[in-house]
A and B are shown apart, each in its own frame.
Chain A
């Protein structure tokens, strides 16, 4: 075997967090917040005529050419909620994660079958993939069987590589068009105009229209750098990776303010890479309390599903309104701050 593979995977292996209890806490944080605030709904797809179908390649509606009925999509939402609740309280989190991701894939296959794809899949993939490590083995009602140390690092390594490549998928087309160093053109401005005029997200977006062309150009360059750097940062060690994740989270906060586009779920998912504190303070509740909070989050998700008028969550606040902007900005900033502080504690040559 050439030395390339051990070197490459060895560099990425440095990014993994081993402590099962810490990972379980991150599982709980992500599960509770997704359940309480961010569960997607798919039933709208059943309201639309099949003549509007533009399904994505190799999905169920692409294969069948039909939309399933509203009760089927409602069932997918129920399965998704209960499966995520099982992940959250640690009820065989590994297979509950598979069920959660499968129901989300099923639902999104239909709700994204009409020409719009929101590309918000990363948190769902995180819940699916992390189950194959050790995040379901602690703080759990019915723990997963533990996985040996190095095998348990595989999920996080794959998620880190997947995130970096996904960022390249967003950054490369921008790099080809936006890096023209011409103050007469701007990619950020194109997003801004679309947010204001196509999507009616006024509010804070207007303020950014008044910035000088140089700032718009710098926004283009920094966006491309941010999205393209990940693939290099992966190989530099945990500290650089955490700094990149923190920068991404703050970048998502800025995107919420400037464009009314929310990526809080992504920022939340980056927390699976957060290393434990050397001397953890008691900021996480004990197991019975954490399970009770998980069940409350389940009740909130079910209540919202059964009676949409109870919905007070971020997913229902119209994008671009003050409450929505504040919720997303604060959420992303808290994740960014946590990642930044952990980077400060991490030596660059960790492990």
Chain B
């Protein structure tokens, strides 16, 4: 049923936006992390999104996908590291300071993270509205023949 499919697509959008939100929270939480497992400062992560099939495994949805052959929804392909250079801060007292007293800090810009966060939040809200609309449409369809 097409409206059920709309709901699945919206749900995939919501989980993609939530994945973005989690990554942003992780970036902000690690804004002062100077040492990761590899000894390097923390690198800013961002989520890679791609248009693709929602992972609905019912017979109907697979048949539908095979018959019209259009990928639906969005999926998180993975996370990638931001290759921007680290910020150098002069702090001789820091345990990770080099002989010159400089410390490499993560390449995270708080302003950028905040803007990304607002974008993720608004996109999530748009998805919620789409779900609301789909639900009210389905309810209207169920009312056919009631009166």
A and B: bona fide binding partners: no
* Interface set of B (CB-CB < 8 Å, partner A): none
